[in-house]
Amino acid sequence: IVVSVPETNCSKSLSVPQSLDLAAHVSAVEVGFKPALLYDSNSLCSMVQQYLSSLQSLQSNLERVLCDDSVAFIDVCHSLDQPAVSNSQRGEMRGVMEDLLLLLKQHEEAETPLYVEKKSEEWNLCTVFGVLLGFPVTYWFDQTESFENCLSMTPLMVRTASASWQADGPHHRCCLYAFTLPAVLQEETRPKLEEWELGLQERFKQQRILKNLRISQATVSLPSVCL
């Protein structure tokens, strides 16, 4: 999957580090190591947009989510004392994924961008992006009540996966996955995290472009968290 935010001004060129990071991410999508790229730095030129569009292949990841329960949905509604794992959103997200999968199949041969603005008005995009990007955990909140959450000053585990990439220049390491989960839920979500990590290592072995996979973890507490 490649999810991108359209460029508003193509006159700004990418720096060398930005170019290397983007190339590594696109390569990771192309070889199937990661299912999606969310590019939102507002410096994406039309040539790169066309290349990213040519790699769009959402179906396999969406179909996997529809068939299993590999993703943990974490309720972070502002009314909660602390975040909690919840399965009540699974049926709702299944419907969203089915709608998105149908839209993608209808537009599979289209050369123009696929816009889902009208369809997505009731979707929790925070949850949707977590699923599309292949994270083992994703946040949910009742946006009909509030867009606020209960993550303020909550210890969060930051899980990252990085790899090195060599391309006609110096050795370059790129962070390819980064997501958080509340530390209090680490044990409860451990099976899904371990399954995700094993799957990541297996996919990494099946490609030869990226090297030296490294998965790390750190803890942060922030006064406010925007989802």
> What is the predicted pLDDT for the residue at 60?
65
- Each of the 227 residues of the chain gets a pLDDT tens digit; together they read 555 444 444 445 667 777 788 888 888 888 888 887 777 655 555 545 555 555 455 566 677 776 777 889 999 999 999 999 988 878 888 888 888 877 777 766 666 666 777 777 788 888 888 888 889 999 999 888 889 999 999 999 999 999 988 765 556 788 999 999 999 999 999 999 999 999 999 999 998 889 899 999 999 999 999 88
> What is the predicted pLDDT for the residue at 165?
80
> What is the predicted pLDDT for the residue at 168?
53
Instruction: List, in order, residues 6 or more apart from 137 with CB less than 8 Å away.
Output: 71, 72, 73, 74, 130, 179, 181, 185, 189, 192, 193
> What is the predicted pLDDT for the residue at 10?
46
Task: Tell me the sheet residues that pair with 19.
Answer: none
Whole-prediction pTM: 0.81
Nearest to 35, CA basis, from 115, 97, 99, 119: 97
